[in-house]
């Protein structure tokens, strides 16, 4: 019984990290960054889905492109989550939590053409960059230079993915 009581007490432990930012700023920024994290997992899964289901005459090039992009996207997830923890808040805990917060749509279709895959991922990356810009603006207003700095790099990465997806899908 003592172990159960101790476990319940630990679940209520204060995990807030000391910071110069206000409590409200930390709560607001963490909520936005957690939504970005959910979107990042969503776009990662969609990119891997399309990578696994790629077909057609450009299979190899597109398959490798999407694998490279998925690796880049996944690599940001830990940094995003750790930023939330540095703000003294908690982050995502499950696939259900991701689903609750994500704004980017899933694609569960049995078949998607290669051109539609590239177009959908291009639009998702454009939208993800837009969400990042909104979060960047809020963080700048609240004086969170650390999160704004990280977001600037992630926006650049998303824009690079857009560029590659755009150029890969051009017919002229």
Report DSSP letters for 93-106, one per residue: -SHHHHHHH--SPP
Q: What pLDDT was estimated at residue 111?
A: 97
Q: What is the DSSP letter of 57?
A: T
Tokens of 70: 């998925």
Q: What pLDDT was estimated at residue 171?
A: 86
CATH code given to domain 20-104+113-169:
1.20.1260.10
Report pTM: 0.90
pLDDT tens figures, 67-104: 999 999 999 999 999 999 999 999 999 999 999 999 99
Q: What pLDDT was estimated at residue 2?
A: 59
Tokens of 48: 């891997």
Provide the residue ranges of all domains of the chain, joining segments of one domain with +: 20-104+113-169
Q: In 10 A of CB 55, how many CB atoms?
A: 13
Per run of 10 residues, the mean pLDDT along the chain (length 172 residues) is 62 72 95 98 98 97 98 98 96 97 98 98 98 98 97 98 97 84
């Amino acid at each position: 019984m003592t172990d159960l009581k101790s476990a319940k007490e630990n679940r209520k432990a204060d995990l807030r990290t000391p910071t110069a930012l206000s409590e409200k700023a930390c709560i607001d920024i963490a909520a936005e960054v957690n939504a970005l994290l959910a979107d990042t997992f969503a776009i990662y899964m969609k990119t891997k889905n399309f990578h696994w289901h790629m077909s057609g005459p450009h299979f190899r090039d597109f398959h490798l492109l999407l694998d490279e992009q998925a690796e880049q996207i996944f690599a940001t997830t830990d940094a995003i989550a750790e930023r939330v923890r540095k703000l003294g808040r908690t982050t995502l805990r499950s696939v259900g939590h991701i689903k609750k917060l994500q704004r980017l749509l899933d694609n569960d279709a049995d078949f998607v053409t290669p051109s539609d895959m590239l177009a959908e991922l291009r639009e998702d990356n454009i939208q993800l960059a837009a969400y990042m810009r909104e979060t960047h603006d809020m963080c700048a207003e609240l004086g969170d230079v650390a999160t704004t700095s990280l977001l600037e790099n992630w926006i650049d990465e998303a824009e690079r993915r857009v560029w590659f997806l755009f150029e890969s899908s051009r017919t002229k």
